[in-house]
Amino acid sequence: MTGRGFVRAFSDWKFSVITLALSKGRIFDETLPLLAAAGIEVLEDPEKSRKLILPTNQDGVRVVLVRATDVPTYVEYGGADLGVTGKDVLIEHGGAGLYQPLDLRIAQCHMAVAAPVGFDYQKAVRQGSRITVATKYTTIARHFFAQKGVHVDLIKLYGSMELAPLTGMADAIVDLVSTGKTLKANNLVEVEHIMDISSRLVVNQAALKLKMARIRHLIDAFASATQEA
């Protein structure tokens, strides 16, 4: 096949397949029932398989497994036509170039400020003290504290934020809370509720135009499954 022939064959094939980006764990697990509502069954278990591209029972639909924070990027640049991603991840990514048709109401949790049990956060805020906050969610944290008029020094971390106040590196953290068990186990308490978080369906704008009917069908099936839940 010539170079141009290959490119044409690849783009014909790409046009015929819908690629959905998911991350392993709760997003994958909680998206499965929505896919089932659209008649789609993923044929391999990501916890057992090492494959990053998973086939489904429909020839024209496949799932790619990426890091949770990479889902918007895959969809933005067309590596996937659609994806499922947390509102937290979307805000930090910026959401540029993504169509966001649906709140799927899965992987629910909330974003919070938490501090060690002994730290008088309210007093520090009242007095206008400068506080140091460790977080993976710097955009959300910066915006939240700016709105409150609180002076913060942000320390960017990529995980285990709970450790930062325990080691004296930060006064507080901004992190996701679901059951509250992680905070409790690390002697931290929630001091501010920032926002509720759930996961969204995101769609590549060009794919939406080129594969309109098939993507619409998926959005509609997801929407009715979400309302029934």
- Binding positions for ligand PRT, rule: CB under 6 A: 23, 25-27, 68-69, 86, 88-89, 107, 109, 159, 175-182, 197, 199
Residue 174 Cβ, how far from ligand PRT at the closest point, in Å?
10
Residue 203 Cβ, how far from ligand PRT at the closest point, in Å?
18
Residue 48 Cβ, how far from ligand PRT at the closest point, in Å?
17
Our CB check for ligand PRT shows the closer of 86 and 101 to be 86
State the residue number with the nearest CB to ligand PRT: 86
Cα 214 to Cα 229: distance, rounded to the nearest angstrom: 23
Our CB check for ligand PRT shows the closer of 58 and 100 to be 100
Our CB check for ligand PRT shows the closer of 21 and 197 to be 197
48: left (phi over 0), alpha (psi -120 to 50) or beta: alpha
Cα 102 to Cα 229: distance, rounded to the nearest angstrom: 14
CA of 132: how far to CAs of 74, 77, 123, 150, in Å? 33, 35, 14, 11
Query: Among candidates 102, 108, 106, 107, which has minimal Cα distance to 221?
Result: 102
Strand partners, 184: none
Residue 46 Cβ, how far from ligand PRT at the closest point, in Å?
11
Residue 196 Cβ, how far from ligand PRT at the closest point, in Å?
11
Our CB check for ligand PRT shows the closer of 24 and 151 to be 24
Q: Is the dihedral of CA 113, 117, 119, 122 positive or negative?
A: positive
Our CB check for ligand PRT shows the closer of 7 and 117 to be 117
